[in-house]
Structure 1
Amino acid sequence: MSYDLAVWEGGAPTDDGEGRRVFQQLYRKYIDTEDETPPTPRIRSYVHTLLERWIDMTEDEEDASPWSDGPMIGNASGPIIYFAMRYSMCEEVSAEAAKMAAEQGLICFDPQWDRLRPSDGGAVA
């Protein structure tokens, strides 16, 4: 079981509903497609920040990576990254990943809870 987050660059949605609509639009255009679009420099930078904190699954020999697949950069396309983490680690990792996104001026959306993150201090449940 995994837990997913979406992070993208762009203007801040006004509420969770707008966040959902933007996420769905970006997902269809960049993730759920056969077309390959290289990640933007800002999304590459975000991935780099994540991998400074947690090891990429493809390099993990000690089963310590929180990611559900890899390489992490493979989950990025254009201005969005849609990535999964182990459910057992999702509370800490998703809160920190959302905080890192905000610090870089990126938008974070939690599809499980259908809301923008961090919206309430970062708690998952």
Structure 2
Amino acid sequence: MSYDLAVWEGERPADDKTAGRVFDDLYDRLMETETDEPPTERIRDYVAGLLERWCDLTEDDDTSPWSTGPLIGEARGSLIYFPMRWSMAEEASGFAAGLARSMGLVCFDPQLNKLRPQRPRSVRHQHRMQRRLCLGGVDREAFGVSGADVVDRGVGGDPE
């Protein structure tokens, strides 16, 4: 069993649904064809970065997370769609997604139909979620009350 990732050149899609459509189009155009379009320079550089971290399967099938070798053989044009061993997928896919982002490439998980890594939430959104967690789901700003008011009204628990 393997875990697959797709990485491609281009602008990062606005959401997961759009990314799924872009991936399907690229896959059909580049992978489901009789012609083997050579990988672009950026995709070759990306594969080189992956292979700096872990060797190719053709070099060592015990320590390599890749399920196929040579890894560059999974690349066509501006897309690489590559499998990795399930037992190493969490670590390897995390590294692969981070490397893609650092190189300005798009990384997509076709199993979950999700972009990787996910865009970080805004700081304001994170603070709002932290308040909700700390107050048992109550958002002070939404109710126009201070922290002391929440405790005094019994929403936040016993003040003692």
Q: Which entry has the higher C-alpha Rg, 1 or 2?
A: 2
Q: Which amino acid aligns with 1:67?
A: W
Q: Give the corresponding residue for 1:72.
A: 71
Deviation at 1:35, TM superposition (A): 1.0
Secondary structure, aligned partner of 1:98:
helix
Structure 1: where are the runs of 5+ without partners? none
Q: Give the corresponding residue for 1:18.
A: 18
* CA RMSD between the two structures: 1.1
Q: Which amino acid aligns with 1:47?
A: V
Q: Which amino acid aligns with 1:92?
A: E
Aligned pairs for 1:1-125 (under 5 A) are 1-60=1-60, 63-119=62-118
Structure 2: where are the runs of 5+ without partners? 121-160
Identical aligned residues as a percent: 59
Deviation at 1:33, TM superposition (A): 1.6
Deviations 1:34-57, CA, capped at 9 Å, x for gaps: 211000000000000000000000
Q: Which amino acid aligns with 1:40?
A: T
TM-score by length of structure 1 reads 0.93
Of Structure 1 and Structure 2, the greater strand share is in 1
Deviation at 1:120, TM superposition (A): 6.7
Q: Distance in 2 between matches of 1:99 and 1:43?
A: 14
Of structures 1 and 2, the one with the larger relative CO (CA 8 A, separation 6+) is 1
